[in-house]
């Protein structure tokens, strides 16, 4: 892939897609194709077929997905499995039919079994039961990995899959119904400070540990892989993360300090924790030459700064 290659970013308005778009622009890639969901519904097979036949992209970043935290997954399980399965199937299949040179499919660390050993190696896929709170989404993402691998084996394509850990950053989703834990906490603490609230309530015990990757670091990893590593060397898929985790309680304390909230933190023990720990083994990608560079504190500061500039959107 070079600066003149025709590149399609599916999901360019989302957290991951927008980070990839910003990075490509900063690096001088000048032939990037993007369409929002009103212009191209990726669930519509005929529309996707027409798009690929017309545009003929050479490289595809498949970042389009329906995403959300525990509450969203529990509320909309049918949409999470249907939308994600159909979107990725349409894009992968029509990339093959139209001769795409390389496709990068973005999955999620929730593909791993609930009780997988920590840190989670790529080899642990499908070795146990999934976490029930996000099983439909996880099954869709596993199907995407297997679909890319099947097309590589049968058709000789170069479709690669990456599994990032929990993401956050610029252009995140701060809707309290559908967001993930980190942006939700940023909004909660910010609004509590503005209202003068005495406390902020958080789901669960605060003991589970999570790994968080700043989305601009993920974009760097995706570009690194797209330009340097092909399917046979990469394998079925590869983890992308920091290799470090933090408890939800510790995360809340960091966000409390950054947002300058002076009240207390309360934990609602009646709400689910989700998987107790989800730490990725990132030795594979580290050994190939990429490592994350943004600390959790610096990343949250940048994310909060962006939120302050856009909080009227939420």
The answer to the question of whether 12 is labelled as a binding residue is yes
The answer to the question of whether 175 is labelled as a binding residue is no
CA 175 vs CA 57, 63, 141, 265, 305: distances in Å: 33, 20, 23, 20, 17
The answer to the question of whether 11 is labelled as a binding residue is yes
Active site (catalytic) residues: 137
The answer to the question of whether 167 is labelled as a binding residue is yes
The answer to the question of whether 113 is labelled as a binding residue is no
The answer to the question of whether 188 is labelled as a binding residue is yes
Residue 112 three-state SS: coil
Closest to 304 (Cα-Cα) out of 270, 267, 273, 260: 260
The answer to the question of whether 103 is labelled as a binding residue is no
The answer to the question of whether 16 is labelled as a binding residue is yes
CB contact set of 92 (below 8 Å; sequence gap of 6+):
62, 103, 105, 144, 147, 148, 151, 159
CB contact set of 12 (below 8 Å; sequence gap of 6+):
18, 20, 21, 34, 35, 36, 63
Closest to 168 (Cα-Cα) out of 118, 219, 236: 219
131 close to 275: Cβ distance less than 8 angstroms: yes
The answer to the question of whether 273 is labelled as a binding residue is yes
The answer to the question of whether 314 is labelled as a binding residue is no
The binding site for substrate consists of 188, 203, 210, 273
Q: Residue ranges for the binding site for NADP(+)?
A: 11-17, 106-109, 141, 164-167, 180
- Residues of each annotated binding site: 11-17, 106-109, 141, 164-167, 180, 188, 203, 210, 273
């Amino acid at each position: 892939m070079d600066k003149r290659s025709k590149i399609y970013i599916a999901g360019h308005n989302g957290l991951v897609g927008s980070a990839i778009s910003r990075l490509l622009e900063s690096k001088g890639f000048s032939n990037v194709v993007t369409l929002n969901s009103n212009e191209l519904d990726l669930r519509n097979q005929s529309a996707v077929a027409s798009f690929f036949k017309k545009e003929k992209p050479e490289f595809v970043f498949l970042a389009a997905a329906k995403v959300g935290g525990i509450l969203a997954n529990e509320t909309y399980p049918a949409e999470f499995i249907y939308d994600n399965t159909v979107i990725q199937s349409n894009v992968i299949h029509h990339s093959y039919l139209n001769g795409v040179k390389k496709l990068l499919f973005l999955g999620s660390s929730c593909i791993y079994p609930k009780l997988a050993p920590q840190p989670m190696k790529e080899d642990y896929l499908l070795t146990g039961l999934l976490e029930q709170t996000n099983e439909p989404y996880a099954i869709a993402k596993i199907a995407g990995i297997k679909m890319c691998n099947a097309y590589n084996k049968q058709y000789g394509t170069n479709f690669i899959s990456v599994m990032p850990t929990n993401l956050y950053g610029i252009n995140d989703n701060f809707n309290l119904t559908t967001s993930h834990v980190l942006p939700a906490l940023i909004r909660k603490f910010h609004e509590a400070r503005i209202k003068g609230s005495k406390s902020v309530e958080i789901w669960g015990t605060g003991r589970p540990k999570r790994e968080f990757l700043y989305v601009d670091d993920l974009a760097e990893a995706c570009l690194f892989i797209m330009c340097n590593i092909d399917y046979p060397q990469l394998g079925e898929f590869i983890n992308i993360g920091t290799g470090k985790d933090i408890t939800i309680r510790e995360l809340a304390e960091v966000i409390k300090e950054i947002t300058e909230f002076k009240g207390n933190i309360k934990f609602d023990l009646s709400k689910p924790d989700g998987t107790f720990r989800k730490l990725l083994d990132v030795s594979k990608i580290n050994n190939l030459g990429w490592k994350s560079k943004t600390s959790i504190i610096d990343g949250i500061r940048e994310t909060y700064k962006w939120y302050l500039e856009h909080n009227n959107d939420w």
